[in-house]
Amino acid sequence: MKIEIKQVLRPLRLMFLVAPGNPKSFQRAVQICSSYWGGKYFPIIPYYERFSKAFKISQNLFGISTKDFYHQLIENYSVDIIIYDEILKTEAIKALNLGKTVVRIDSIEESLINNDPKFGFGLHQIFATLLENEFKYLRNDQLKINLYDGSKKDLLSGVMIGELNNKYLDKIKTLFKFNDQIVTNDEYETILNNESGNYLNYLDIGSYEIFLNGNKNFEGRDVIFLIDPNSTADLMNFWNLRALGWNILAVWSSIIDLATTRKKVTSILKRYLNNDFNHLTVLGTEAEDEGEDVKRFKALLHEASNNTYNGYMFQWWIPRYWEDYNMRRADHVFAVGLSVKAIKHELTSEDYISIPVLKPTFMDNWYHSHIEPVYTNNLSLNIKSQSVDYVETFPRLKDEEAGRIIRGMGIWSVTSTGLNFHPNLHDSFIGFYLPLSETLVDHLFERKKLKIELSSAGKLAREVIKNIGGIYGTNLFFNETMINLLSLFESGKPVGKKAFFDNIQRNKSKFSFKAEPKTIVGRMLNNKMIRLGAEIECTFCNRASYYQVDEVNYKIKCKVCQNTFDLPAHNPDKIAWAYQGIGPFALNNKAEGIISVLLTLRFFKIALIGNNTCSCVLSSNILNGREVINEVDLILLYQGNWASNEYPDLIFCECKTHKDFALSDVNKMQKLGQQFPGAILLFATLKKHLSQPEKKLLKKLANSVRIGNSYRPINPMLILTGNELLPTNSFNVLEKLEKHKQNHAYHEDHTGHLCDMSIKEYLGLEFYRTIIEERYKKKWDRQKNSSTEVDV
């Protein structure tokens, strides 16, 4: 078994919860962010036990609970640690059950002032390496480090260029010897506008060696934000949008007419002029088209666009960086990944992994007295094995759960990008066991006080996958002709060599691969689907029986009358070569339904185009104590290529060959949906069409789960038939469904839209997304017309 591991060093990412409408609470968080490595990318969020009406309107918070709001922020920013202002209610924050370490802000302040910062590195720890590598000699570009006292200014300067607590700033000044390249320039306007471009501010220093590790969903957007410098809400939104990794320029009334502002705006807009595909977004929080400041800025844009009004677009609402994956994709607000350095490991291992920790370059210059984690190593696993037993993608897990599942020493967490090991200053190696899918899924059921165990069918399916050489061996079943061929062997019936080869010869043009009969038979033999033997007639009872090759001898015992007779060596024409199914391929109902399960698994792991990842557990019983209370044919944790920075979908599968779905099948799936809100309920069959009774049963279930306020129902339903599992066109498994495809929905939520497409095709139901969009529009109109409150 080969394992590829991509190991990425990054800072810990903290999230701050502050008191709403409290500038002092916000400023305190800004000061700590400005003091930490990577602090420019730490979100600062107001904490509400219950959203105010003004906040809901200003942020478009419709149909989202406070718990989901904070959980989704944690997911978007890949947050490792939660820091909260001690004036907030500790019990209420812990009641959110955020699954992260939660720490009071005063303990972080104290650790900084004591030169022993917890949960990260302070600026003073970066300085030694920065000075040695960048400022040891006089620079030609005249770049300087500016240790300015931002606390003497307003909150605006702290948000734009960083601000340190006075006590911490004094500590830094006592630690380092000043030279001409370290200055204390408190000229507010010069620093804020960076007119000379020759100063490193605190946020710049805290970003030392950090690269923005973009992915397909992170666009590194250029944005201009028209802000009110006296609005805490505007400043907080600016901070959090910049923390996404955006190149965002704030503009306010007093600087619109400055030459430096004009120069910056012109430089940014130039990249979008005459661009038919992208535009520069200009954000504002209220549509005051007649306001004086807006008129002045529009005039500036008009001039910068060479009087064409080209290349930019105004947007009078804040992108929803706090929303779920689908909304974030619609608004293009995925947070950037942080990366300092990365290496790849190629290992050969059974199950235990041990690799060195990747450390920051400046770490060895300092000693921490505490054992708290101070940085992160992100690990992406690619396990190349014939087995499907190992985890490829992780669901949402609390930090304490992650370490238990992988049996790793130290502090671990899981984000949508993979495993995270959080070393303290004393850790040198990362050690863990490769996580097993069955262990992971069993843990999800343990949350419901249930357990799972592989059923006999599941154990058989696992052995079949091993015998056929892993998941790609299922390609052999990706053909209706092969399945019909295997049906010849049901119930253990032997098939004569001539009849078998003649059948293959007649149908060989229908196989998805070109091959002669002997090649196809060879593949079936190698994959332990069939075996060779002979049918020989007993000379006592005149009954023919099938004998495996190793059972054929000069003396043969009849399997019917139990007499021993001589092999007809003198007349070999009476020895008829034949083949017989092995194991599940000798059973009834298409190998006890295993083929349908394997083709469903193949659909997600191979057939859907893209770099998809999928963890699976084969057919299992669900137990309450020792009592089997339910069963499921296949459990998947599926992360599509379009959702590479989102947690996987949990999918429960009911798989049939040619039997109809029954009420009992629907009931057990409905029960699973009730136990796991958000899980997808998949009904898979090798038939090309559903019967009317099946449609009636499935439509009733679909309507019962089509509730909720998200773009997905509480339990999306997906139907796959032989049209998708055994398509005529193997290069387009979704050909039957694509007539219902809506490109924007497909790209925003590939799997969710696939569910909608299948329900539309096979049950005739409207897209759930369309229903929700209409509901949102009506609710937005009501909310907008019922209040004129403005958030402060």
For the ranges 111-115, 332-336, 407-411, 671-675, the one whose mean pLDDT is highest:
671-675
pLDDT of residue 215 exceeding 60, the answer is: no
CA distance 467 to 473: 9
Q: In which band, very low, low, confident or very high, does the pLDDT at 187 lie, cut at 50, 70 and 90?
A: low
From first CA to last CA, the distance across the chain in angstroms is: 58
Nearest to 47 by CA among 76, 27, 69, 23: 69
**What angle is formed at CA 424 by the lines to CA 422 and CA 428, rounded to 5 degrees?**
90
pLDDT at 729: 80
CA distance 576 to 578: 6
CA distance 456 to 454: 7
Q: In which band, very low, low, confident or very high, does the pLDDT at 193 lie, cut at 50, 70 and 90?
A: low
In contact, 630 and 619? CB cutoff 8 Å: no
How far apart, in Å, are the Cα atoms of 421 and each of 200, 326, 340, 402?
31, 28, 15, 10
Question: At a CB cut-off of 8 Å and minimum separation 6, what does 117 contact?
Answer: 35, 36, 108, 111, 125, 374
pLDDT at 396: 86
Total-model pTM: 0.85
CA within 13 Å, CB half, 376: 27
pLDDT of residue 757 exceeding 80, the answer is: yes
In contact, 184 and 146? CB cutoff 8 Å: yes
pLDDT of residue 641 exceeding 70, the answer is: no
Q: What digits encode the pLDDT tens for the residues 15-72?
A: 999 999 899 999 999 999 999 999 999 999 999 999 998 888 888 887 788 998 999 9
Question: Which residue type occupies 764?
Answer: G
pLDDT of residue 790 exceeding 60, the answer is: no
pLDDT of residue 688 exceeding 90, the answer is: yes
In contact, 33 and 44? CB cutoff 8 Å: yes
For the ranges 108-122, 356-370, 641-655, 770-784, the one whose mean pLDDT is highest:
108-122
pLDDT at 784: 60
Averaged pLDDT, 6-17: 96
Q: In which band, very low, low, confident or very high, does the pLDDT at 676 lie, cut at 50, 70 and 90?
A: very high
Q: What digits encode the pLDDT tens for the residues 142-168?
A: 788 888 876 666 789 899 989 998 889
pLDDT at 216: 47
pLDDT at 643: 57
3-class SS of residue 260: helix
Kindly state the tokens that stand for 522: 């060879």
Mean pLDDT for all residues in the chain: 87
Question: Which residue type occupies 768?
Answer: Y
pLDDT at 791: 39
Q: In which band, very low, low, confident or very high, does the pLDDT at 189 lie, cut at 50, 70 and 90?
A: low
CA distance 592 to 656: 10
pLDDT at 789: 43
Higher pLDDT, 183 or 629: 629
State percent of the chain over pLDDT 90: 47
Averaged pLDDT, 463-471: 87
DSSP 358: P
**What b/e readout covers 219-240, taking b as 16+ CB neighbours within 10 angstroms?**
bebbbbbbbebebbbbbbbbbb
pLDDT at 792: 35
Q: In which band, very low, low, confident or very high, does the pLDDT at 788 lie, cut at 50, 70 and 90?
A: very low
How far apart, in Å, are the Cα atoms of 200 and each of 2, 130, 162, 192, 554?
45, 11, 11, 11, 92
pLDDT of residue 541 exceeding 70, the answer is: yes
pLDDT at 95: 85
Q: How far is residue 224 CA from its own chain's centroid?
A: 29
pLDDT at 531: 94
pLDDT at 153: 67
Which residue shows structure tokens 């062997």? 489
Higher pLDDT, 83 or 641: 83
Segment (H or E) for 55? helix 53-58
